[in-house]
Structure 1
């Protein structure tokens, strides 16, 4: 790895970033994470591809990792639920190993690492919020009470509303994101589709998904 730059963290080369992608373990599942966070007071939810599978009621594809999101201020409470592991902060082509509070302020992604194997097990998004109100990091004017956007499976596993998961996926619309969109929309209510279309028009005007909704 290269020297630590003035902006903080260790800057990674493209080859080093690619090498990091091989260190993710897919052995953790939403139910396993929920067991570790059982009884926690802060709102949290499964995000990204796993959230859409929870919404649809079953796993539809392989997932290279598992992502959850929490209010940024609640990270210490979550951190204490994973003794024996290390949290690294990551973003903008840099990584902060065993991140300090100062490093955590620089980015929103936090990777849970097994210090024995070096593998990453869980991606924790520390999201902006105002008390119990969630704030979209792509557009801070988009705000919802956590109670409105966190849904639960019959087993009680919390996950992000599908319209918001797809809003985040729309930015890059990789092949897997397109697949997720096409597989999820038929399961959404008309109100959810209308909400997603409105959010896309605000954050990604002219996005091709709008016409499909």
Structure 2
């Protein structure tokens, strides 16, 4: 999440990110609210930042791709402190949040998120029992932009829901098929067994 104390944000658009990342030899996905919009089609609301999710094991390739950018890692995460991400530096857990801008004089434009993986499976950095095959982690928009599967994005939004997260949930819920709903319900049940979204996701027989 962007923090005004750390500088101004003018987030890129998904197509801007695709222009930068399309040459990368690693998987990546638009995440956050933009991922929800890529799933539903129309714009839903204003965005203060733009998230891109990559796997931690691919961070060296990401660092090379963004060579020349001004890159800072949140260290410690969530404490409003940034430090440079130096070339060749390996970021280990719990570090996962990288702020990116093209030069020190330009606004922040991309928030890069590192997530975990084991073999062919994505592993949630928040709860390692929550997993998904990597080939099911994302979708592709009509314009060819990869984005995080809505059920995975909603899982991350479920931790501490805000008004914008409720907007995203309502918009994308009708698009979730039964397997996606079941996976999301199971994942949320692990971290928040009383979460109000569960009533909307679970069939009556499982409530």
TM-score range normalised by the length of the shorter chain: 0.7 to 0.9
Out of 152, 156, 172, the position equivalent to 1:168 is 156
Tell me the SS of whatever aligns to 2:154: helix
Distance in 2 (alpha carbons) for counterparts of 1:104 and 1:188: 34
The answer to whether residue 52 in structure 2 is matched with residue 86 in structure 1 is no
Residue 82 of structure 1: how far off its partner (Å) = 2.5
Cα offsets for 1:52-80 (capped at 9, x unmatched): 00111232211111101111121121122
Give ranges in structure 1 of 5+ residues lacking alignment.
1-16
Distance in 2 (alpha carbons) for counterparts of 1:42 and 1:103: 17
Q: What are the residue-to-residue correspondences of 1:192-211 with 2, within 5 Å?
A: 192-211=180-199
Partner of residue 14, structure 1: none
Out of 36, 45, 52, the position equivalent to 2:20 is 36
The answer to whether residue 172 in structure 2 is matched with residue 187 in structure 1 is no
Distance in 1 (alpha carbons) for counterparts of 2:85 and 2:63: 11
Partner of residue 104, structure 1: 91
Contact 1:72-1:129 at 8 Å conserved across structures: yes
Out of 67, 72, 94, the position equivalent to 2:56 is 72
Give ranges in structure 2 of 5+ residues lacking alignment.
202-207
Residue 187 of structure 1: how far off its partner (Å) = 2.0
Contact 1:88-1:95 at 8 Å conserved across structures: no
Contact 2:115-2:125 at 8 Å conserved across structures: yes
Tell me the SS of whatever aligns to 1:151: strand
Q: Tell me the C-alpha RMSD between the 2 structures.
A: 1.9
Cα offsets for 1:133-170 (capped at 9, x unmatched): 21111211122221111111122211111111011101
Residue 129 of structure 1: how far off its partner (Å) = 1.1
Distance 1:25 1:173, change over 3 A: same
Tell me the SS of whatever aligns to 2:112: strand
Distance in 2 (alpha carbons) for counterparts of 1:132 and 1:66: 26
Residue 30 of structure 1: how far off its partner (Å) = 0.9
Partner of residue 140, structure 1: 128
Out of 46, 54, 68, the position equivalent to 1:62 is 46
Contact 2:70-2:104 at 8 Å conserved across structures: no
Distance in 2 (alpha carbons) for counterparts of 1:108 and 1:94: 14
Distance in 2 (alpha carbons) for counterparts of 1:136 and 1:79: 22
Residue 102 of structure 1: how far off its partner (Å) = 5.8
What is the TM-score with the length of structure 1 in the denominator? Answer: 0.84
Cα offsets for 1:81-110 (capped at 9, x unmatched): 234311100113153422246683251101
